[in-house]
Amino acid sequence: MPDRRPPGGAPTGTRPRRERRYFALMAVCLTLFVSAWAFVRLFSVPLAIGMCVVAALIPPVAAVVANRREESDRWWDEGGDGPEEGGGDGRGDV
């Protein structure tokens, strides 16, 4: 059976897994922001500010986690499926 890959080159199972991780982290981020200013601020403003600081650090981490290469991923710089030996786009080093 041929290896079926979407246009991005990743096998069909890795992209949904990375998207789930990204959305889970972003859900935690939104939960922290909303809960900090909806009800935590009523009890402790410094704690609400701390929660927002932690929530502000989550999006860059989520982006790194979502774009991390997994063992089964094939990326643009791997050979074998492009018009030339290096797997590039055929334009050479531009």
The 10s digit of each residue's pLDDT in 49-69 is: 999 999 999 999 999 988 887
Report pLDDT for 55: 96
The more confident residue out of 81 and 29 is: 29
- 31 pLDDT band, cuts 50/70/90, is very high
Identity of the residue numbered 21: R
pLDDT tens readout for residues 77-93: 666 555 555 555 555 55
Question: What pLDDT, on a 0 to 100 scale, did the predictor assign at position 16?
Answer: 80
Cα distance between residue 81 and residue 53, in whole Å:
44
pLDDT at 7: 56
Between 19 and 6, the higher pLDDT residue: 19
> For the purposes of burial, counting CB atoms within 10 Å of the CB of 35, is it exposed (0-12), middle (13-18) or buried (19 or more)?
middle
φ, ψ of residue 83 in degrees (nearest 5): -70, -20
